Chains A and B, each alone.
Chain A
Amino acid sequence: MFHALVSIKQVPDTTNIRIDPETNNLIRQGVPTILNPYDAHAVAAAVEWKRKLNGKVTIITMGPPAAVTSLRECIEMGADRAILISDRAFAGADTWATSYVLTEVIQAVHKEDPLDLIFFGKQAIDGDTAQVGPGVAVRLNLPVVTYAVKIHDVNTEEKFVVIERKTESRNEVIKAKLPAVMTCEKEIADIPYASLPDLVYSLRYEPEVWTTEGPISFDPAQLGLKGSPTTVFRTGTPEKHKAGEVIKTSEAGVEAAVKTAFDKILEVEGVASMLGVQR
């Protein structure tokens, strides 16, 4: 039977984050948390193939207890089982320490119910690192296909998958052995509308909670801040650029505003010759 696992993350909706202009601090208050958008598409793809192959989808996430809402969202989309990996000892983990914990959990799930495909979103919108997926693949010694846009074929008999991935200049169709790891672009699958039974089921669904107490054990030296090779040295707000002159066409007129703009543009070094205009 086809078994897919999707590793998801609950993230602050970074499009709604604002900076306090007085204190330059991040205003976190009232910023909603969401299921990382790329992860949502990865779940959709896993569920699509589960239906094609009559299989099963397991969701895992490492995060605070509040991440349960994102897990329920995945159940609503058609996932079968969800695991919340949550413990104070995991706090402050960088991508290295995160990939360690996820790897241990994935191995435990695999032992009990062998996995074929392990999905990640291409990156999380809060950190944007895109490192955890490849990191887990290396730790598991499995093939990884990043920036996946389409699954062409999953063959659980002959144990291979054909995945199309996108680079800057082209698409590559890659055939990899199963089990395999993939990180997904949004094109991988459309988010399905929840069926009524899935919706009802998700509302009452309580995910399993895995901690350092069990059901598996972790090496304490590899967890959280202590297990992270990178540390944040300092944070700040990005440098502000100076604003230049602003002209209103309602006052100056369109022609005059554009003329002023060209006068300034042509003063920029190298621009006049580039545009084939003499200053």
Chain B
Amino acid sequence: MNRRFWVYIEQEEGKAHQVAWELLGVARRLADEIKDELEKTGDTALVEGVLVGHQVDEIAREALHYGADNIYVVDDPAAKHYLNKPYTEVLTLLVNKYQPEVMLVGATTLGRDLAGAVATSVGTGLTADTTQLAMGSPKEGQPKLLMATRPAFGGNVIATILCRNHRPQMATVRPRVFPMPSRTSEASGNIINEDIAITPEMINAEIIEIITQKGSDVKVDYADVIVAGGRGLGNAKGFELLQELATELGGVVGASRACVDAHWISYDHQVGQTGKTVRPKLYIAAGISGAIQHKVGMQESDFILAINRDPNAPIFDIASMGIVGDLYEVIPSMISQIRALREAQHVN
């Protein structure tokens, strides 16, 4: 018997979302975690991707470099753009055909839209926005299940959720919660084209216009350096200073929810529970007090520098280093010191 670990390969306009590769890495680890069971039963674990779209061959080939054993492809002109109903129906057909044990979907806008519908249509449980995934026995001696852990109550509590009697065990995972697996130069898996067509009955809505947003090129979730500001900035203008430092460090500007709610900066920059999850190498939190909702979005950063006037700000609890002081003194000093560092080396 094959025990299948599925990953939904999200794509838009012919480009795969990077979260798909992150999830292939997770699926491989989960498959490895049931090795003991496989040895006893002689079953095989397969890591498989499922891809829906139009002219997506290149993405299918790329997925094989991230460790997929098989990629199932449904290619149809009507699937060029994501729409809930046809995608849900196609995924439901595939799930019923192959009966995967686990199915992971990126918790992006489209992924969450799809996963909720597929779980209902297939009749199984779905755990949203998981931050830890493992295969484990709820009781010693019992078969392993997907242990899906997620934050609840705004990140104040974490809960591990099981889906005991329904398959697949579904979970969505936010981008950047898990690291990118390395890309292998060899690709040994198979691409399997599925003969499924999107029929007119599956279409109950159509995209009549696509508006590309201004500022939507801010990829805060995939930045290596983030200079983020909070209420302590005092006004929208403070972000200009942060932008100057971010540019100097080759990074982007992030923000706490308070600043977005105050319209100091656009939502694309928001980090936290209701914004983006980030894991940069360097996260500079300036004037951010560190509410739990913000922390859950950035605590996986490699290095966190917190700058705040208030020595009791909760952000200091998770900061790799803290500076208690006025950010309007500290940030300009950072800008001049990094410039000085570079110049000194240039001269040498």
Chain A residues with CB under 8 Å of chain B are 12, 14-15, 17-19, 26, 94-96, 99, 125-135, 137-139, 142-147, 162, 164, 166-177, 180, 228-238, 240-241, 243-250, 254-255, 257-262, 264-265, 268-271, 274-278
Contact = CB atoms under 8 A, between A and B. Distances in A.
A127 B152 contact: yes
B186 to A, nearest CB: 26
Interface of B: 12, 81, 84-85, 88, 108-110, 112-113, 115-117, 119-121, 123-129, 138, 147, 151-166, 204-213, 216, 224-225, 249-250, 273-274, 281-282, 291-293, 296, 299, 302-303, 305, 311, 316-326, 329-330, 333-334, 337-338, 341-342, 345
A233 B138 contact: yes
Contacts of B138: 233
17 contacts: A14-B156, A96-B119, A130-B116, A131-B116, A138-B117, A170-B216, A174-B205, A177-B205, A180-B205, A229-B163, A231-B162, A233-B162, A238-B155, A241-B299, A241-B317, A262-B337, A269-B302
A248 B311 contact: yes
Nearest to A142: B204
A154 to B, nearest CB: 14
Given A12-B153, A243-B317, A230 B125 contact: yes
Contacts of A233: 138, 147, 160-162
Contact of A235 (B125, B160, B166, B273): B160
A131 B337 contact: no
Contacts of B326: 249
B160 A274 contact: no
A172 B117 CA distance: 19
A134 B117 contact: yes
B159 A235 contact: yes
A85 B304 CA distance: 46
B338 A173 contact: no
A228 B127 CA distance: 12
Nearest to B162: A233
B204 A173 contact: no
A251 B108 CA distance: 45
Contacts of A170: 210-213, 216
Given A126-B153, A145-B205, A244-B322, A232 B159 contact: yes
The 10 closest A-B pairs by CB, nearest first: A249-B325, A14-B154, A229-B125, A134-B116, A230-B125, A246-B322, A176-B205, A131-B116, A173-B209, A129-B128
